[in-house]
Structure 1
Amino acid sequence: MGWWQVNADTLAESRFVPSALAETTASLMVLHRGEAAHPGERAWLAAHLPAYRERLAADPLTALLVRAALGRRWIADFLTPTPTGEAGPGDGEAAFEEELARLRATPPDTARADLTVSLRGPLPARLDRSDLPARAADLLAWVWRETVRPTWPRRRRIVEADIVARTRQVGQGGWAAALEGMRPGLRWLGGSRLQINAYDNPPREISGARLLFVPVTPKAGWVSWDLSAAEGAGESGGPARAGAGGVTGRASGGTRPGPVGAAGGPERSRHRYAVVYPCAGQLADPERTAAPEPLGRLLGPARAAVLVLLDAPKSTTQLVALTGQGLGSVGRHLKVLLDAGLVLRRRAGRSVLYYRTAVGDALVRAQGEPAGRRGGLSAKHREKTSE
């Protein structure tokens, strides 16, 4: 199995961060795979997959590049640059362009070398050219513009809600609890060891590096590293599987990460390692959290949305992130729901978590039942009792 040696300071200083480019790359992987992980993703695929396939059909060279870069067991390193973690709030456009510029600036020789790794064999003659990074960047720009940016505010809210939930898990149960179920093969082994996948790779010493955790809404994930801030010989990354949790890495101009136990120099603090993982399923699938229209008429659409989201305990911060409503509005809705006996609250550390009562569950669950069965009586039985 592949694992990283992480000391306490590195883990304590690690951060959860959003990345518009990682979100777009994960979306490209779903388009390439052509299979949805949940109903919400199925609707997104139905809306965008035909245009994506049409674009690649009109550009066979880029289609060949995508197939080569998203190999069956490897992802080409240059396609997944490690996020910097410096993106600020906003619509994501500036952050996306800044991250994409790093990909576009990849030296052609590096891109070709990365493709031989993802292909696990020689580079096809048609890909022996210098415009591969530009072509990949142009395709990602198209995926962002046509399929991600229109829904970026909602995606960003889902990502932020996942960050809030993971951060709370760290505070309540430590890193082992937060990492549990994050992505296949990832878990805390103890003894300062973080397992990143189930592949038989040599361990990597990353103590002193910047460790980032990057949630994305599609069902995709990978790990990557960037050692380009340091001096020394370079090394390219390891095995990957798009959507199943892969590995990419670049040490262009960077020191080779030493084996476990190797001494790290002062430049190690400028290394970056990232774990990209899919958001929790109940957050990423909008159809699982959409308020039924009859419930919206009963409670009001905004209040109904809050009630539906409370199938699992959530804080007001998470509800604000998921709904896009203001803190004051969410607070007022929660008070009404509390007074009506539809939700309860409990304290968990520094957070107050809200969750549905049995009555609230029954109210939401009734929206999915035929009208004649609501309330536990069949239509036939009600006809008899009314005679």
Structure 2
Amino acid sequence: MGVWLIGVDALARGRFAVSALAETVAALIGLARGGGSRPGRERWRQVHAPAFEERLARDPFAAAFVSDVLGPRWLPDFLVTPPLPGDRTFDDELRRLRATPARSALAHIVEALDGAPLPRALLVPDLPDRVAELLDWVWTRTVRPEWPRYRRLFEADIATRTQSLTSGGWAAALSGLRPGMRWLGDGRLRVNAYPYPPREISGAQLLFIPTTAPRGWVGRDEPRRYAITYPCSGLLAEPGAGRRVPEEALGRLIGPTRAAILTQLGAPKSTTQLVALTGYTLGSVGGHLKVLLEARLVHRRRSGRVVLYHRTPLGDSLVGDGPPQLG
């Protein structure tokens, strides 16, 4: 797909969005590719991989779809169609996938295979329904139990990028969004390094969707909607991983709210991100940050119009992410 030529109208309507189906596809890829999971997701895969492999062993269609279609290059378009503005739930998005004509879904798979032979197990009349059943299984077993936490992380990432967009324009908001992508200016967005002719996008809806996927992908419903799915920031640490001091003990020492905020600040975050991640109000987060600053447990610095907070070495030591402070 190379470079997209994005018209002023499409750019003005561009927005960030959360998609439960996109995260379910990311989970399916993480389960299927094993070693391709992002750092910090290994434990998640270890928990769910046995049941997933058992599911594939019982279903030749699902096994063929996972092994042959979820390749490292392209995903079939019907699997990654951008969500509609009215989509509110996973079921809303899955319903549209089920409604894909079987002939169209098969054509998308053939295109994604890029010349590789089509597995006979995929030649079924109810192909979209079979894919939807697999996605519904992945959603129910592996994504839905953690969806509230994922959603907070995605919303925090979106808040930060929206602030960057306000202060530095699209070049700042899209910087480092996904491997191989770069804002070139003059309405040109390089979505990947493949040497295809530029694609004109005018009058379309352009979405940017965070997920736990390690690289992301491009989705399209030509000529109306295009989406770029990208790796969400802030997912490297497993909940509780690497802490020598349990959060409960830290909460008894400095209070549960301050403990929750301090544990989130291993990487710089804004107050807006902390509100999304912790669920506390803006006033509460601001007040506790002031106390943590005065106690020299956190630093703050300005990045454009955004103020970012991060732990000091003393804060790291208190949480358990740094060497003990002797003295």
The normalised TM-score by structure 1 is 0.76
Residue type of the alignment partner of 2:324: R
Q: Is the 8 A contact 2:81 2:219 kept in 1?
A: yes
Q: Partner residue of 1:14?
A: 14
Q: Is the 8 A contact 1:158 1:284 kept in 2?
A: no
The 5 A counterparts of 1:52-63 are 52-63=52-63
The 5 A counterparts of 1:116-195 are 116-119=110-113, 120-195=115-190
User: Larger RCO: Structure 1 or Structure 2 (Cα < 8 Å, ≥ 6 residues apart)?
Assistant: 2
How many angstroms apart in 1 are the aligned matches of 2:178 and 2:29? 16
How many angstroms apart in 1 are the aligned matches of 2:240 and 2:172? 24
TM-superposed CA distance for 1:150, in Å, is 0.3
Q: Is the 8 A contact 1:81 1:102 kept in 2?
A: no
**Structure 1 unaligned blocks of 5 or more:** 89-94, 228-253, 255-270, 378-387
How many angstroms apart in 2 are the aligned matches of 1:210 and 1:355? 36
Segments ≥4 residues shifted beyond 6 Å: 288-291
Cα shift readout 1:249-268 (whole Å, capped 9, x = no counterpart):
xxxxx6xxxxxxxxxxxxxx
Match of 1:285 among 237, 250, 254: 237
Q: Is the 8 A contact 1:183 1:221 kept in 2?
A: yes
TM-superposed CA distance for 1:366, in Å, is 5.3
Instruction: Tell me the secondary structure at the aligned position of residue 189 of structure 2.
Output: strand
Q: Is the 8 A contact 1:17 1:85 kept in 2?
A: no
The 5 A counterparts of 1:45-84 are 45-84=45-84
Residue type of the alignment partner of 1:38: P
TM-superposed CA distance for 1:187, in Å, is 0.4
**Structure 2 unaligned blocks of 5 or more:** none
Q: Is the 8 A contact 1:337 1:343 kept in 2?
A: yes
Residue type of the alignment partner of 1:131: D
How many angstroms apart in 2 are the aligned matches of 1:26 and 1:82? 14
The 5 A counterparts of 1:257-268 are none
Matched residue count: 322
- Of the two, which has the highest radius of gyration? 1
Q: Partner residue of 1:374?
A: 324
**Percent identity among equivalent residues?**
53
Instruction: Tell me the secondary structure at the aligned position of residue 56 of structure 1.
Output: helix
Cα shift readout 1:115-147 (whole Å, capped 9, x = no counterpart):
222222342333222111111000100100010
Q: Is the 8 A contact 2:317 2:324 kept in 1?
A: no
Q: Partner residue of 2:229?
A: 276
The normalised TM-score by structure 2 is 0.89
Do structure 1's residue 99 and structure 2's residue 52 form an aligned pair?
no
Do structure 1's residue 29 and structure 2's residue 23 form an aligned pair?
no
Cα shift readout 1:61-93 (whole Å, capped 9, x = no counterpart):
2211222321242212222122224445xxxxx
CA separation of 1:366 and 1:284: change in aligned 2, threshold 3 A? closer
TM-superposed CA distance for 1:367, in Å, is 4.7
Match of 2:270 among 312, 315, 329: 315
The 5 A counterparts of 1:227-238 are 227=222
CA separation of 1:276 and 1:365: change in aligned 2, threshold 3 A? same
How many angstroms apart in 1 are the aligned matches of 2:242 and 2:9? 41
Do structure 1's residue 361 and structure 2's residue 313 form an aligned pair?
yes
Cα shift readout 1:314-368 (whole Å, capped 9, x = no counterpart):
2222101112233343233223213323334456665444344xxx332323554
